Structure 1
Amino acid sequence: MCGVAAAAVRAVLCCVLVGSGAVRAEWKLAVHLAAIDCANENNREVCIRFAITGYPSLRFFPAFSSNDSTGENIRGFSRDVTGLRHLIIDKLESHKNPAPPACPPLETTSTQEIDSYLEESREHNHNLAVVFEEDNSYVGREVILDMLQYVNIMVRRVLRSEEELVNRLNVTEFPSVYVYNKQSNFTRLPVLRDARAFYSYALQRLPGVVREGKPYPEVTDFVRNQTEEQWIPFNKTRVYMSDLESALHYSLRVEVASHTVIKGEALTALKGYISVLDKYFPGRPPVKNALKAVNNWLKEQKKTSIMYSEFSAALNTKTTDSYLPEVVRWVGCQGSKKQYRGYPCSMWTLFHTLIIQAAEAGSKDPQEVLQAMRHYVGSFFGCRPCADHFEAMAQENMDHVTTHTVAVLWLWSRHNRVNARLAGELSEDPHFPKVQWPPPDLCPSCHTLKSNGDHAWVQNKTLAFLRNYYSAQHLSNDFLSVSVEPPVIERRKARETAPNREQEAGQEVVDEEDELNEAPQDEKSASYASPRKPSIVGLRHHQFREDIVDLDAFIIQHYKAKAPLSRRDMEDEVEPLPQSMRRTRRDLAALDAKGLALGLEVEPEPYDQSRTHWMSVLSVGFSRLDVSLCVAFYLLSVLCIATMCLYFRVKRRQRRTKLALP
């Protein structure tokens, strides 16, 4: 390590300063920050060893310090985050030779060094970022440390006094950052504000720049084989209902299912979770009805424990207007690979959505959703370290949430804290790095600068963004995996129990394949995972079904009417079909099967199968209307040809007659 500052490993620092974020996580390769509370008796021996007589105290341990070193005692240090950060940089630059290999070059560079680097880098496609700044600026050094853990980029700082390079690039603003690559040479880095936080964010998202130790993000990461769920291009400015419904399915049918018996705090947590879902989940009507039914069922349970099998039976009860899909499909929460993002992302999205809906609904208890989330995560969330961290954050100050505005901002700030803690971990998706959210490109007005140049959040703008982003009106229903209606088999069973009602309504009876083929267009487009190859075979024009004459069906019905059946009451038992319905051999086969199921004896039909076969072959890929028109045009063309032949024959006779006259 380059240096150990501010009570690293053996140093001492008042814990209140550590929590202020003096050193970012990206700096940890060069400097470690640690804190020891000397007011705690358990730390007494350590504090005595380093001769700590008062606090806050600050010790600096340079690299290669011996084990018995007590470090350099720093007096009169700044009490604010910016001052501490600048102090650490000064200590890193004052390090004597030999310089540790992990220490980045913080000194300024010259025009000759930049040119030399460009010559050496022509064979590589690495990015070079140059920070132009004033003599007393720390921006360049802070950006260099921010990019310390990233590869395929090098950051150097150039002072305003380096006139040759400043004039060559026509630099007029300080600070500013210019990026070099082989394709575009030097171009100014586009940022929302010329400040350290925006520079670092933009540089970390340059093409090819990735955190060290993480796999290089390739476009091929999004290409899946036929056994995997295909990548869905999505709009990052939208929240997708598919993610929310997938979170419901996974939490209720996978995580809760890990508890064979649900009792005590777990049962209380489940009831609270289902209750807020019933009140505030902005789902489609059948999904909301299913949640309401489960909530009512839980309220009726007076036992101190329930079996998950009982809960599952209530959850999976399906009717025509109450159904919870059993499909997981991530859209906005999909990762570049299967192990990334997914369920944790969708749960954060669900929590944000619920808390916004509760605020819009005017819930009397601003902690209602937060407490339900807290208890659910503590009892059921599969990642136990994650659950422990969330509980630790809740114990800090969740009880101080008194309004819905504070509740929304509390969850947002804790989510950003988790993102900062997980940045660079193995669970981080290289294509979707953990950032402070919302980023500048998603909400420019949410970001501003303090008087000292540090980043700051505009809370009223951030609150407005959150309320709009997670509102029910902003949710997207694109890519929903399945219809919320019950499956085909369920509907067929329902029809069989009420045949009289079907006859009165004149409902169409079709098999499972027909119902799937006649799905609405938006549902077909959502079923992208198994695309069908375009083919003219089996094409149907359902929108013109009433106007299409089925020649096969007409012929079959003609012969069938003449064929005697062994039992004449078949027509009484089999429900009549509307006259406008298309009939095919498959439909008749279905009727025969139904007749057999009713105990009827159906004799074979004496129609010419070869004729029907050739009619089917000739009509492959065409509608019945097309076939009828083709036959009509064929007869018309034959008639025209015959007429023309007759005409020319008559003219020829007339000509011969004239030639025979003297």
Structure 2
Amino acid sequence: MARRCSRATSQQSPVRRPTAAAILMCFCLLPSAAQAGLYTASDQITLLTRDNVESVLVNSTAAAVVEFYASWCGHCISFSPVYKSLARDISEWRPAVSLAAVDCAAEENRKICVDYKIRGFPSIKFFRAFSKEDSYGTNYLGFPRDISGLRHAIIDSLETHGEPWPPSCPPLEPISPAEVDVFFGTNPVQYLALIFEESRSYVGREVILDLLQFENITVRRVLSSEVSLVTKLGVTEFPSCYLYYPDGQFSRLQVSREARSFYTYALMRLPGVLRSGKAGLISSVVITNSSAEPWRSFNRTRVYMADLESTLHYALRVELAAHSLIKGEALTSLKNYIAVLAKYFPGRSVVMNLLKSLNSWLQNQTADHISYEAFREMLDNTAQVPDAALPEGERWVGCQGSQPHFRRYPCGVWTLFHVLTVQADSAGASNPHEVLSVMRSYVKNFFGCRDCADHFETMAREGLRTVSSPPSAMLWLWSAHNRVNSRIAGALSEDPHFPKIQWPPPEMCSSCHAASSDGEHRWNTNRVLSFLSSHFSSSRILNDYLEDESQVLEKQRQKHEQQLKLVLQRKAREASNSVTLPPSSSSSPSSPLEEDEEEKEEEEPDDGVAYEEDEVGEEAAAVREMEEKSAKPKPKVEGGADHQQRHKKPSFVGLRMREPQEDIVDLDSFVNKHFGAKVLQFASSSLVKQRTLQRKVEQEPRPVFGLSLELDAGVGMVGLQPIDQDLHAGFGGQTKRLQKRELAGRYFEEGPGPGPGGRWISVLSVGFSKLDVSLCVVLYFLSTACLLGMYLFFRNRLKRRRIKLALP
């Protein structure tokens, strides 16, 4: 009850107003806080609910520290940052002890708090491993409100844990000289790290728990009272760390400061020390992955332009490609992202020219959306902006991983935005949120890992309000990066060759790390800021493993030529498919009017006609050859020549004709390409303008086509007939013989022209096959017979009625 918010009221009148204001503030925060709670999954704190409380606290193999809080309580709100920091500080202890929290203000959690007899907030309880259902935990009365005090309290609880001991928790008691002598006989590890310290020191036990997730190393503590070991190794400083090897040799661990964090960093980076469950590294110099890329040697203390350009390639050509249409908030985010890149990216001239061109195009887009295809065309510089290109493909160097699924693009994103924040500070940016807000928006709208995007959004929502200057923006991004490293340390995505540690490690910046008088680690933010400004400056970015700019431009030019060639080939294919050449003539000698009738029309393929996909170049050549042939004047054919050409197959570009013996019925529109009788031309009722593929200046007078009365056999489509120039001339001359198509699709020639009596029969049968005419005749006779029968029937019946009426 002493820690309950409502008990904060004092009996002294001078402090009543501030206390009442604090209580009012607690209740004002109730609606929003109760909905979200004080902790999220990204804080590395297990959130207890009715569904998981038993699995975490009852019969668990790990001990647990649980905070029971109320989200409306002011003291709980003030304590939450300390509890979050504690979770990050002891994240490596998770197999032995885990941190959890439960919001007792939430209605669904009230029964949990009642069952565990919680009467004040915040309350912290320690639950031993393998606790029973009736266990209420050990209450930390008057628990410390700092990280080191809470950490020491947890260690004390573990040491007094008793049996059964948590399986994942290493021994915390001091080691004896006898155990050291026989250690390697029973433990197949590469290193035994001995931390010599005073009896009241917690450094040894903290480092033991920090390294419990790592293999090939064991950490034990040795008290300064162990005279034999102290004398044997010549220890003079406490604390200090010594490495004991299987061959009996000893060496002192070289660190900048004798403190917990320095020991932990150094021991994690020893050769052969790996996180448990991680595969060992390939011992050869060259590491190959599934993409057959060789391992590129690099300096871990430098930034590589190849990583930055690979990040841009993946973000703009791969990640954005998942959004076929970019609109609204996403479009604004993209515009700001490209604008910041064009402003601060320290790239090569060809890349900067491309980014500036892309930014100019985006800023000129007034529509509320753009397609990714249009964006990709600008990215690939289809507009041929001189000396502008973004190299294609990924070439990771400093961000490469020991396996293809490690590091790479996420590492590149962090590196890119660290560089941008440093460049913004160097350029004297007036808006400290410029780069961070762009990064936040891009990650929210486009970053492929959605859980990562949600975690980053949570950090940005909580911490960006503290950024007030470009240097503070650099420090916030650095702090957020370390929070992410702490959260995903030990995850499956962690590369064993590059463990997730707090960056920069002491070997890169020893002055960035400091220790307080009690040995507690702290960051020297001034030195960190100086390190960031130097490490990510444009002058220290290496151009190793990059393609030469001339090679990049040449590859882009070749790509554009190839794309242009494909476009031309596609257009040629479309043109060839839309052009239908007339079949080889098998009719009577051609006239000048017939020679002018060389029109190419679109024709749908018959169902029975098989098409073959020829090469585009061959099709275009065939088109040109047919045009040249059609341009030449046709030689006059002597009488009877039509019999010689009658069985020639019609020629179509890209068309494979079936064999003549296959009887294929033409169900598509039939266009008559030859002259009909003048009487049919006279019967045309309207005119259709002739289509041509020639330009205006090349067009010559052509015959006008009219709609004839001829119907395509079996379909009934109106055909096109040319109107003769002497339309109003007499019809006395003999009509030209017509070429017709049978149902089988072959052309046949009619016999001699009909006589005067059969001319009208020929006119009536135009467009119909012999079968059609025969059916019409049969139906005519049947209908006549039917009418005659009806006439006789009614006539006889009428006669019978007259006879009946005449009878007396």
TM-score clears 0.5: yes
Change (3 A) 1:33 1:490: closer
| Consecutive unaligned residues in structure 1, runs of 5 or more | 495-662
Deviations 1:596-630 (A, max 9, x none): xxxxxxxxxxxxxxxxxxxxxxxxxxxxxxxxxxx
The amino acid across from 1:18 in the alignment is Y
1:499-525 deviation per Cα after TM superposition (whole angstroms, max 9, x unaligned): xxxxxxxxxxxxxxxxxxxxxxxxxxx
| Other structure's SS at 1:60 match | strand
1:411-426 paired onto structure 2 within 5 Å: 411-426=477-492
Superposition deviation, residue 73 in structure 1: 1.9
Distance in structure 1 (CA, Å) of the matches to 2:146 and 2:556: 67
Question: Which among 540, 560, 566 is matched to residue 474 of structure 1?
Answer: 540
Label 1:21 to 1:70 Cα distance change in 2 as closer, same or farther (>3 A). Answer: same
Taking a change above 3 Å as real, the CA distance of residues 152 and 225 of structure 1, as seen in their structure-2 partners, is: closer
Q: Hey, what's the Cα distance between the residues in 1 that align with 2:61 and 2:151?
A: 15
Question: Measured at CA, do residues 45 and 221 of structure 1 come closer, stay the same or move farther in structure 2, by a change above 3 Å?
Answer: farther
CA distance in 1 between partners of 2:448 and 2:533 (Å): 29
Contact 1:340 1:427 in 2 (8 A): yes
Contact 1:11–1:35 (8 Å) recurs in 2: no
Query: What's the CA shift for 1:37?
Result: 3.0
How far the C-alpha of 1:61 sits from its partner, in A, is 1.2
How far does residue 68 in structure 1 lie from its aligned partner after superposition?
2.9
Superposed, 1:53-452 pairs within 5 Å as 53-120=119-186, 124=188, 126-182=190-246, 185-220=249-284, 222-224=286-288, 228-317=292-381, 318-452=384-518
Amino acid across the alignment from 1:477: N
Paired letter, 1:259: H
CA distance in structure 2 between the partners assigned to 1:272 and 1:232 by the alignment: 34
- Spell out, residue by residue over 1:138-185, the C-alpha distance to the aligned partner (whole angstroms, 9 max, x if none): 111111111111111111111111101110111111111111113571
Return the offset for 1:48: 1.7
Distance 1:92 1:10, change over 3 A: farther
The Cα of 1:472 is off from its aligned counterpart by 0.9
Answer whether contact 1:8 1:32 (CA < 8 A) is retained. Answer: no
Higher relative contact order by CA 8 Å / sep ≥ 6: 1 or 2? 1
Q: Distance in 2 between matches of 1:492 and 1:158?
A: 67
Closer/same/farther in 2, CA of residues 231 and 488 from structure 1, 3 Å limit: closer
Corresponding residue SS for 2:549:
coil
Q: Given the alignment, which residue of 75, 100, 120 partners 1:34?
A: 100
Q: Which amino acid aligns with 1:130?
A: L
User: CA offset at residue 52 of structure 1?
Assistant: 1.1
State the distance in 2 between where 1:289 and 1:378 align: 27
Change (3 A) 1:488 1:75: closer
Q: What is the SS of the residue equivalent to 2:347?
A: coil
* Matched position secondary structure for 1:33: strand
Single out whichever of 201-210 and 217-226 deviates more from structure 2: 217-226
Q: 1:90 to 1:476 in 2, by over 3 A?
A: same
Contact 1:150 1:210 in 2 (8 A): yes
Q: Does 2:83 align with 1:18?
A: yes
Task: After TM superposition, give the deviation of residue 42 of structure 1 in Å.
Answer: 4.4
Residue 17 of structure 1, CA deviation: 3.9
User: SS in structure 2 opposite 1:158?
Assistant: strand
Contact kept? 1:147, 1:204, Cα under 8 Å: yes
TM-score (norm 2): 0.59
Q: Tell me the SS of whatever aligns to 1:128.
A: strand
Answer with 420-429 or 53-62: which moved more.
Answer: 53-62
In structure 2, what is the Cα distance between the partners aligned to 1:126 and 1:492? Answer: 54
Residue 603 (structure 1) aligns with: none
Of the two, which has the highest radius of gyration?
2
CA distance in 1, matches of 2:82, 2:173: 28
The one-letter code sitting in structure 1 at the alignment partner of 2:229 is L
Would the aligned equivalents of 1:15 and 1:37 in 2 still touch at CA under 8 Å? no
Q: Please show how residues 544-583 of structure 1 align to structure 2 within 5 Å.
A: none
Deviation digits for residues 254-297 of structure 1 (CA, Å, limit 9, x no counterpart): 11111000001110110010010010000011111100000000
Distance 1:125 1:237 in 2: 30
Letter in 2 for 1:7: V
Residue pair 1:11, 1:34 contacting (<8 A) in 2 also: no
Structure 2: tracts of 5 or more residues without a match: 1-59, 562-808
After superposition, the C-alpha distances for 1:545-566 in whole angstroms (9 at most, x for unaligned) are: xxxxxxxxxxxxxxxxxxxxxx
Q: Tell me how many residue pairs correspond in the alignment.
A: 492
Per the alignment, in what secondary structure is the counterpart of residue 242 of structure 1?
A: helix
Larger deviation: 89-98 or 235-244? 89-98
Structure 1 counterpart of 2:63, which letter? V
Whether the 8 Å contact between 2:302 and 2:542 is mirrored in structure 1 is yes
Match of 1:6 in 2: 65
Q: Which AA in structure 1 matches 2:134?
A: D
Q: Please tell me whether the aligned partners of residues 275 and 490 of structure 2 are also in contact (alpha carbons under 8 angstroms).
A: yes
